[in-house]
Every structure is written in structure tokens, then in C-alpha cells.
Amino acid sequence: MSSLVGKKAPSFKANAVVNGVEIAENFSLDQYLNKKYVVFFFYPKDFTFVCPTELHAFQEKLKEFESRNCAVVACSTDTEESHWGWLQMEKKAGGIKGVTYPIVADTTKTISLAYGTLFGDYDVAENGDLIATGPMIAFRGLYLIDKNGVVRHQLINDLPLGRNVDETLRMVDALQFFEENGEVCPANWTKGSEGMKDTHAGVADYLSKH
């Protein structure tokens, strides 16, 4: 699948666990449209090893994201009941108790497929249904979505490679800096650094040449 950057984030409705305890039906990212930025990230499976380190890392930085008017939402192909059970397990036992941001249950695998992060062996039937010929889980996909619902940053890691949450925050800062100042962000830009003036006909023209 081609990159989603610059395109509308695929819409979906699915069950999710919110606030660590409540199972919500028909959860959708559409609730954030015109209100918040969204970091939407996929992880492979509940009750694993690298995954809880990532989920706890995002929780530890959650106030930082919220201070930037940015929601954090996770997703895997496990069921909402599996998510709920993992959320009740203490961190020292390998659980994710204390995580409060929503965790979506992509039990049909269609969300992972739409975002281009589905890993495994499968075919797609003529009616669009997935036919599994082997395990189907999500790669470590991450998408930064602006308030208009457009994907502005996309990252997909292979299963063994955990992500850097501080880099995700940096990308939120970079996007908001560009929107607020109309200046582009050079390599290794961090919040508080200077941007670069767009001296060409427009930012899109500038980016197309660099």
C-alpha cells in the first residue's frame, strides 16, 4: 500500500477500552476532527514483551501530548476483552495497568489493513473480507493526524523494533510550529529552534524540490 501521508486518515468504528476499564462501542477517531491532533499507533499483540514498554512510554508522556492538544490512541488486532484483561495486570507482572488512553480492538483486521500496517498471510475475497492463511497482526505503525483528519507523518517499524516516544513528540512540535509560523523544519529541528523561511512560491513547491 502507498503512503497515507497527505491523505485523509481512514475512518473506522470499532470497540475500544477507554480509561483503562470501560469498553466503548463504535469508537472512532472522527470524534477528534476539528478539535485535536491524534497520534494513532498500532502494536502487534497483548501480553508480549516489547509492546508493554511502548504503551507505558506513551502513558508516561501523555500529559506532554495533551498539553499540545494531541490525543493518543493505540490499536492492535486483539479483542477488547484481551485489552481489558491486560489493562488489569500490574506492570511488574508484564501488564499495562495505569494506561488510560484508548486502545482499539481491530478484531476484523480491517483497520490495520486500511492503514497499511497488517502483517501476516492473508487473501482478500471479492466481497472485501479477509481470508487468513496464517497469523495476522499489526506492525508497529504510527500516524500523526492533524485536526483536519489528514495524515502528516507515518512510521512503520518491524515487530522487534520499539519506537521512540520523544521523536513522536518532536514531530507533533514540528507540525504545530509549521502551522503556526509558516516556516519549515530542517534536520534535527527541536522545539525552540529556528525554522527556515519559505523563499519559494509556496511550501508545497519548496517541499517538491527538496
Q: Respond yes or no: is residue 51 known to be catalytic.
A: yes
Catalytic, out of 51, 70, 75, 185: 51
Cell triple for 17: 477500552
CA distance 33 to 62: 19
For residue 125, give the amino acid letter.
Answer: A
* 3-state helix/strand/coil string of the chain: CCCCCCCECCCCCEEEEECCCEEEEEECHHHHCCCCEEEEEECCCCCCCHHHHHHHHHHHCHHHHHHCCEEEEEEECCCHHHHHHHHCCCHHHCCCCCCCCCEEECCCCHHHHHCCCEEEEEEECCCCCEEEEEEEEECEEEEEECCCCEEEEEEEECCCCCCCHHHHHHHHHHHHHHHHHCCECCCCCCCCCCCECCCCCCHHHHHHHC
- Rounded alpha-carbon distances, angstroms, from residue 25 to 15, 80, 141, 208: 4, 10, 23, 42
Contact between 70 and 39 (Cβ < 8 Å): yes
Instruction: Give the catalytic positions in this structure.
Output: 51
